[in-house]
Chain A
Amino acid sequence: MHNYIAVVFDGTTKAYEGLHALWQLDDEGEITVHGTAVVHRNDWGQFQVDTKETHPALATAVGVGVGALLGALAGPAGAAVGAAGGAAIGAATGGVVGATTDLIRADNRDQAGFETRSVIGAGQSAVIADVSEDWTSAIDTRMRNLGGIVFRRAWSDVRADTWFDDSYLYPYEYIPSSYPLW
């Protein structure tokens, strides 16, 4: 199965642990990770995506794609939602709406974006990933152990979105130097 996932964590450090764990699962051959990014939402509801500092000419509005993906992962009701725990179902159906979001690609730690509803609550961080997995338990179990909640949708469903763009996903484990965890 080729899926997009968002794994939501209560803190940035945990999100990077989750990112690392995903790539570890890839290294173990349990899943194949095609791309990842870490997104944060501050207490005022604004989003930021951790990216490399890019040439200004490259910092285009690819964030529209982030919003489209977050919206797709949030809903609509009945969408395939992978839960790492029972709480995920509540989180997926209770008050999260697949609202189209507009985000601006931000250099590392810069705030950007517009208010939106999403799978990510205020103060939370999430790992967004494009993955191939033969079964969902590998990711769900590993992320549950780290305290993450997994939202999942089929790659083919999300790609149908006109606004879709996943160019912000890094095809390898990218951790900004401000997070020297590993």
Chain B
Amino acid sequence: MMDTKVKDALDHIRASTQELHKAISDAAAKRGGALKADLEVVPQKAKAITESIKGSIDTQNEAIKKDLKEAATYLEAVQKHAAEGLKRTGHAFQASIRQTLADARASAQKVSEAVAAKRSAESTKTRK
């Protein structure tokens, strides 16, 4: 069994992307002004996670790097679509929210896959 008590940078990044998705999906349940107020902080949060990824990517193996790069790309899309959404109304606004949520989900997926790759590599090492 792996040592489960030690959470590394990748685990923290994963938790951050999960939180980001949670924040956006919680916001999406609201209406009008409340939704927009919650959405305002999203680009900033996404940018912070992107920076964390960029700061830890060099220490990872190639497979993990690939997942993290894709996650960073999705997070940049989160920033873009959330920022665009703030300027829009009606159907265009709703489309932006939907896209922002999808991008956040994809970024969380990619970071999670990076964590799985890391766990699998460490598990293989332990068994040798």
Residues in A lying within 8 Å of B, measured CB to CB? 2, 27-30, 32-35, 52-55, 57-58, 60, 130, 132, 134, 167, 170-172
Contacts and interface: CB of A to CB of B under 8 A. Distances in A.
A104 to B, nearest CB: 16
B115 A32 contact: yes
A32 B35 CA distance: 31
A34 B120 CA distance: 14
19 contacts: A2-B116, A28-B2, A28-B4, A29-B2, A29-B3, A29-B4, A30-B2, A32-B116, A32-B119, A52-B25, A54-B25, A54-B28, A57-B94, A57-B98, A130-B109, A167-B101, A170-B25, A171-B108, A172-B21
A171 B20 CA distance: 10
B113 interface: yes
Nearest to B20: A171
Contacts of A33: 112
* Interface SS of B by simple majority: helix
Contact of B97 (A35, A57, A130): A57
Interface residues of B, number: 32
Contact of B18 (A27, A132, A172): A172
Looking at B101, B105, B116, B119, the one whose CB has the most chain A CB atoms below 10 A away is B116
A58 B105 contact: no
Contacts of B123: 134
Contacts, number: 77
Contact of A171 (B91, B112, B119): B112
Interface of B: 1-4, 17-19, 21-22, 25-26, 28-31, 35, 91, 94, 97-98, 101-102, 105, 108-109, 112-113, 115-116, 119-120, 123
A152 to B, nearest CB: 16
B76 to A, nearest CB: 18
Nearest to A138: B1
Contact of B98 (A2, A58, A172): A58
Given A34-B112, A171-B112, A58 B97 contact: yes
A94 B5 CA distance: 43
Given A29-B2, A35-B109, A58-B97, A53 B120 contact: no
A28 B21 contact: no
Contact of A60 (B18, B98, B109, B120): B98
8 tightest Cβ-Cβ pairs between the two chains A and B: A132-B116, A57-B94, A32-B116, A29-B2, A171-B108, A172-B18, A34-B112, A29-B4
